[in-house]
Amino acid sequence: MSNQPFVFNFMEKLNYERILTNNTNPLELIERLNISKKGNSSIGPKVLILTKKIDIESDLLGIQFLKNGIDYVKITEEDIPLNFHFEFKIGKFNDSVLRLGNRKFKLDEIEIVLFRYFDPKFLNYYSGGVYQMYSAQQWYQAFNCLPIALNALWINNPQRTFDSENRLNQLLAAQQLGFSIPETLITNEMEAANKFFKRFRRSTIVKVLHHHEIYLNQRTYRFLTNNIEASHLSKFNELTYAPVIFQKKIENDSEIRVTVVNDKTFSCRISTIKEKRNFSDLHKIKEKELIFSEIDLSKKIEKLCIKLNKRLGLLVSSIDFVQAKNGELYFLEINPIGDWNWIEKRTNLPITKSIFDFVNELLNKSKRT
């Protein structure tokens, strides 16, 4: 019996070293060009972004903030531990201070936190062993202090984000609201997987339970949705080492991505010039072979998307559907972080502007109160 988890049979590697080297966020660029001295200023930013270095969506928002005179700071997973320091003082005088490089700011000046790709549980400082476990535990608890020390609105709240990423939670919530969902099994049990495959022999797919990418040592390991064939049955004993999701594949011609920004929705149909039945995941298709088109969903579906967001305690999210041959929409998943640049590049959907307007409106309300 192999000790390798089942989905590792479908893994693909990408080297992100060059992308990491060339990636620059707007604040760094301004400092390099000597356009602004804010990088060394003690004046506090109004917006804090927590993310990873490669996050073009946060940089698109950062450009909007700077264009409109809104100071912000971006802390990435890669800044920890060497470039990021903090102080939480409790006693006669309670005070909280963060330092990012040469920049120092107080938490009571931050009004909005954009929480994106940032999970201290998976930060990797050492090559492994007890040092890594110790360090990860300490930083995880340190970042749990941030929501307590910050009197700010989070988009989205970290705990709500982690809860809504849970596939069972989101599927049940979607089902309870009235969305159609594919027949689904979450398991590490070989016999259960065999029974599911026999039930949907020609239309079983497998997905990972957590996010479909792992970043490690400047490489990304992707675990995309795959069709299950009879030849895979002999490897089902590997499920013991890591649970996965099995679903009945919904035969379709396109997928639909709905981006929800508070009480607004932006819908895009994604189809392909390739034979769709040959692909189990649109991420496997080259972008030049994808077709993007803006669509108007029914008011009922739009309202359900907003309602699902609120049910899960989210303000911004992306929701994925497939449309069956008979026109029925099936809910696949909700992503509380969501990438929208790839949608904006090929449509006129103003998602970045909508999120900026939402944040700006919240900041203006704060000034009035």
Q: What is the pTM of this model?
A: 0.87
| Domain segments of the chain as ranges | 1-16+183-249, 37-155, 156-182+250-349
Q: Does the pLDDT at position 33 exceed 50?
A: no
The lowest-confidence range among 63-67, 96-100, 246-250, 252-256 is 252-256
* Residue type, position 361, single letter: E
Contact 336, 117 (CB under 8 A): no
Tell me the three-class secondary structure of 150-204, residue by residue.
Answer: CCCEEECCHHHHHHHHCHHHHHHHHHHHCCECCCEEEECCHHHHHHHHHHCCCCE
Most distant CA pair in the chain, distance: 68
Sheet containing 12-15: order of strands: 12-15, 219-222, 213-216
Rg (CA), the chain: 22
- How many residues are present in the chain? 369
CATH number for the domain formed by residue range(s) 1-16+183-249: 3.30.1490
Structure tokens at 85: 């320091």
Answer whether residue 364 shows pLDDT above 60.
yes
Estimate to the nearest angstrom the gap between the alpha carbon of 10 and the chain centroid: 21
- 321: which 2 tokens? 């559907």
Residue appearing with tokens 């103003």: 350
> Which strand (E) or helix (H) includes residue 32?
helix 26-32
Q: Are 163 and 313 in contact (CB under 8 A)?
A: yes
Angle at 303 between CA 355 and CA 166, to 5 degrees: 70
Residues 158-185 have pLDDT tens digits of 999 999 999 999 999 999 999 999 999 9
Q: Which two tokens stand for residue 260?
A: 């929800």
Convert the pLDDT of each residue in 145-161 to its tens digit: 999 999 999 999 999 99
Beta carbons of 100 and 83 less than 8 angstroms apart: yes
Q: What is the pLDDT of residue 215?
A: 67
- CA-based nearest residue to 150, from 40, 27, 48: 48
What is d(CA 87, CA 99) in angstroms, rounded to the nearest whole number?
Answer: 9
37-155 — its CATH code?
A: 3.40.50
CATH number given to 156-182+250-349:
3.30.470.20
pLDDT score at 314? 97
Give the closest residue to 259 by CA, choosing from 347, 179, 152: 347
SS3 of residue 149 by DSSP: helix
Say if residue 39's pLDDT is above 50: no
Q: Report d(CA 159, CA 278) in Å as an integer.
A: 38
- How many Cα neighbours within 13 Å face the side chain of 74? 26
Cβ–Cβ < 8 Å for 91, 31: no
For residues 311 and 106, which has the higher predicted lDDT (pLDDT)? 311
CA distance 48 to 107: 9
Determine which of 9-23, 136-150, 277-291, 302-316 has the lowest per-residue pLDDT on average: 9-23
- Tokens at 5, concatenated: 């988890």
